[in-house]
Amino acid sequence: MEIGLLLIRLALGLTLAAHGAQKLFGIFGGYGISATGAFFDSIGFRPGKPLAFLAGAGELLGGLALALGLLTPLAAAAILSTMIVAVWGVHLEKGFFVQNGGYEYPLVLGVIATALAFSGPGNLSLDVAVLQLNLAGTSWGLSALALGFFGALPPLVSRSSWARGAPVPEVKG
């Protein structure tokens, strides 16, 4: 079981960290923060650059923490929040399957991160092996779930306001 949890954490965490690095730094074929921010603006996530930074940071830092098994419920919440925004705000209208731009991929990533918040990172993690923290179980999983949904609300509400034509404050910089 321990090796299985480690493999899941590494695959999910490092994949998400790479996606975050694409958004933030333009590496691994990514566009960087300015172009990602412009894309976010174009689909109604305004202000685009700060929201792109938050998405990239959630993926990069949440992914690295998850891979290490460090404060696993918080890492899972950061990932879940970003994936909820991706599903609801970008992919939902395109259907389920990823080949059509659908929400299949971010849904699976968010669910696996949440599952790790419930199961815990396993003994081969910083939480258990170094910090001797028992961050597993229903209360930790539900906390990660609640934080993930709560964290997704501001960008989704902002986008919803923009879509309805409400003025969105402009951020200069």
Q: pLDDT digit string (tens) for 45-72?
A: 989 999 999 999 999 999 999 999 999 9
d(CA 169, CA 149): 24
**Inside any domain, residue 170:** no
pLDDT higher than threshold 80 for residue 151: yes
pLDDT value for 168: 46
The long-range contacts involving 160-167, CB below 8 angstroms and separated by at least 24 positions, are 162/44, 162/45, 162/46, 163/44
**Inside any domain, residue 172:** no
**Inside any domain, residue 169:** no
pLDDT value for 1: 87
Mean pLDDT of 119-136: 97
User: How many domains are contained in the chain?
Assistant: 1
How open is the CA angle 139-141-147, to the nearest 5 degrees?
Answer: 100
pLDDT higher than threshold 60 for residue 169: no
CB 30 within 8 A of CB 36: yes
- Residue 26 or residue 171, greater confidence: 26
**Inside any domain, residue 168:** no
* Enclosing domain of residue 55: 2-163
pTM as predicted: 0.89
Integer CA distances (angstroms), 132 to 9, 48, 65, in order: 18, 39, 16
pLDDT higher than threshold 80 for residue 165: no
**Inside any domain, residue 21:** yes
**Inside any domain, residue 69:** yes
**Inside any domain, residue 119:** yes
**Inside any domain, residue 131:** yes
